[in-house]
Amino acid sequence: MVHAVAHHLRAWSSRPIVQDTALAVALLAACVVLNDPTTTVRKHVESTFDVPWPAQVWIWWGATLVAVAGTALRRRWPLLLLLVCAMSAATHLALTTPLMVVDLATPILLHTVAASHRRSVSLAVLVGLGATVAYWTAVGVASVQGVGGPPSVPRSVTMVEEVPTTTPTEPKTVSIQRLRGATPASAPLVIIPVLVAAWATGSGARSRMAYLRQLRAQTVDLERERDQQAQLAAAAERARITRELHDVVAHGLSVMVVQAQGGHAALDNRPGDARGAFEAIITTGRGALAEMRRVLASTGQLDPTLHPQPGLAHLPELIDQVNTTAIPVTFLVEGTPRQLPPSTDLAAYRIVQEALTNTMKHAGQGARAQVLLSYHDSGVRLKICDNGPGTAKIGIGQGLRGMRERAHLLGGDLHAGPGPDGGFVVRVALPTDGVSR
C-alpha cells in the first residue's frame, strides 16, 4: 500500500503543470521572505509619489500575481506568457520599486521560449527584450539629465531636493527622485546578462532534447532492426531444419518403402529375402532416427564437432545403402579429394541424398543411377543421373526446392531436368569459398 501511494505521488509530482506550479509558488514565497514586498513598495512609493500608497501596493501585487500565474502556465503559451511577465516586470519598475525575486519570472519564461521554439524565434525575442531594457535605461538617464541632475551621480546616492513651502496649504513639489525612479544606467549590465544566460540554457536544453529524441529514434530503429534480424534468423533456422529433416526422413522412408515392397513380395516364396528386407528396414529406420536426432540436437550449436554432420566422406556408405536395398548406383570420383568447408561438405551430401531419394521414388523398376563427384580448383561439381522412365516434377515439391536453396545459399548453381537420353539429371556446382548470395 505504501509503495503504491509513493508511486502515485512520484507520478503526480513528475507532471509538468505540478512542477511549474511549485516553481511559481517558490518564487512568490522567496520574494515574500527575502524582499518583504509590502514594506519595500510602501517605502519607495511614499518617497516618490504624492498619492496614497495602498493603490500602488495593490498594483504591484496584481502584477506580481500575474507573473506567478504566467510561471505556473509557462509551458502552455510560452511566447504570450513571456510578454505578460515582461509587462509585469515593467509595471514594477514603473512604480519605482527595485526588481525582486518574483521578477525572475521573465528570465524563466525566456528559458521556456528558447527550449520550446526555434532558435531564430527565441533569439529575436532575446534581442527584443535586450533592446527594451536598453531603451528604458536610456529614457531614465535622459529624464534625469533633463531636470539638471548630474548624469554621473550613482543610483545609490539619495538626491532629494525639496522646494520649501511658504504656507502649509501650498502643494508639495515633486522630487527629483521621482524621475530617478527609472532603471539605473548600470541596469543593462545586470539584466541583459541574466536574459542571455536564460536564453542560452533554454537553447541548450532544446538541443539536448533534440539529441535525446534522435537517440530514442535510433534506439527504436535498432530494436526494430534487431527484431527483424532475429525473425530472419529464426526463419532461416526453420528453413534449415526443414531441409535437414526432409532429406533425412524422405531418404529413410523411401529406402524403407522399397524394402517393405520387396519383403512383401518375397514373404511367401522367399522367406530369407523377406527377412533380409525387414532387417534392412530396421537398420534404415534406426539410422534415420539417429540422424534426425543429430539434426535436432545441432540446432543452434556453434561448434559442429559436438554434433558432426555427414559430408562427402560418407557418400560411399549412402550409396552402398541405396545400392543394396533399392537400385544399383555407380559412384565415380574425378580430381583429387580435399577437405571442404563444413557447409559445402554437408550441402553436397544432402543434395546427393535427395537426388537418390527422388530416383528411388520416380525412376521406376529396373532403373540404374550414377553419381559423379568432381573436384576442381574453384569447388566441386556433382552429377546425379538415372536412366529410369519416370520423371520428377521439376520445380514442384520440397526436395528440388531444398536442393536449389542449398546450392544458392553457398553461391552455387543447380540444374535439374530430363536427361538427353532419358531419365533425370541433376547437375550442381558448389564453390569452396562459401560465398552466399
Query: Which residue, 185, 200, 235, sits at the end of a domain?
Result: 185
Highest mean pLDDT among 176-185, 352-361, 383-392: 352-361
pLDDT surpassing 70 at residue 3? yes
The answer to whether the CB of 82 falls within 8 A of the CB of 106 is yes
Does a structural domain hold residue 174?
A: yes
CATH number of the domain within which 399 lies: 3.30.565.10
Average pLDDT over residues 296-324: 71
Percent of the chain with pLDDT over 70: 80
How confident is the model at residue 271, as a pLDDT? 77
Give 166's pLDDT tier (boundaries 50, 70, 90).
very low
For the stretch 371-389, pLDDT in tens is: 999 998 888 999 999 887 7
Per-residue pLDDT, 280: 77
Shared domain check, 314 and 181:
no
Residue 234 lies in a domain: no
Q: What is the pTM of this model?
A: 0.51
Between 374 and 134, the more confident residue is: 374
Confidence grade of residue 125 (pLDDT, cut at 50, 70, 90): very high
Per-residue cell: 340: 571442404
Domain containing residue 175: 2-185
Q: How far apart are CA 271 and CA 266, in angstroms?
A: 6
Q: Residue 390: is its pLDDT beyond 80?
A: no
Is 210 part of a structural domain of the chain?
A: no
241 vs 392: CA distance, rounded Å: 24
Per mean pLDDT, which range of 176-185, 209-218, 224-233, 420-429 is the poorest?
A: 176-185
Residue where a domain stops, chosen among 155, 185, 215? 185
Does 24 fall in a domain? Answer: yes
Q: Say if residue 395's pLDDT is above 60.
A: no
Q: Of 170, 185, 200, which residue sits at a domain end?
A: 185
Q: For residue 20, what are the CA distances in angstroms to 74, 109, 150, 206, 334?
A: 7, 11, 45, 18, 84
Q: What is the pLDDT of residue 180?
A: 41
Q: What is the pLDDT of residue 168?
A: 43
Average pLDDT value over all residues in the chain = 78
Say if 244 falls within a structural domain: no
Burial label for 249, CB within 10 Å (0-12, 13-18, 19+), is middle
pLDDT at site 276: 77
Query: How sure is the predictor about 270, in pLDDT bands with cuts at 50, 70 and 90?
Result: confident
Q: Burial of 174 by CB count in 10 Å (0-12 exposed, 13-18 middle, 19+ buried)?
A: middle
C-beta of residue 384 within 8 angstroms of C-beta of residue 410: no
Length of the chain: 437
Total domains, the chain: 2
Confidence band for 145, pLDDT divided at 50, 70 and 90: low
pLDDT at 274: 78
Domain-located, residue 151? yes
**Residue percentage of the chain with pLDDT more than 90:** 23
Q: Residue 205 domain-assigned?
A: no
pLDDT for 226 beyond 80: yes
Q: Which tens digit of pLDDT belongs to each residue from 56-107?
A: 888 889 999 999 999 999 999 999 999 999 999 888 888 777 888 899 999 9
Confidence of residue 201 (pLDDT cuts 50, 70, 90): very high
Residue 190 lies in a domain: no
pLDDT at 8: 75
Residue 261 to residue 271: CA distance in whole angstroms: 14
pLDDT at 48: 60
Residues 181 and 325 grouped into a single domain: no
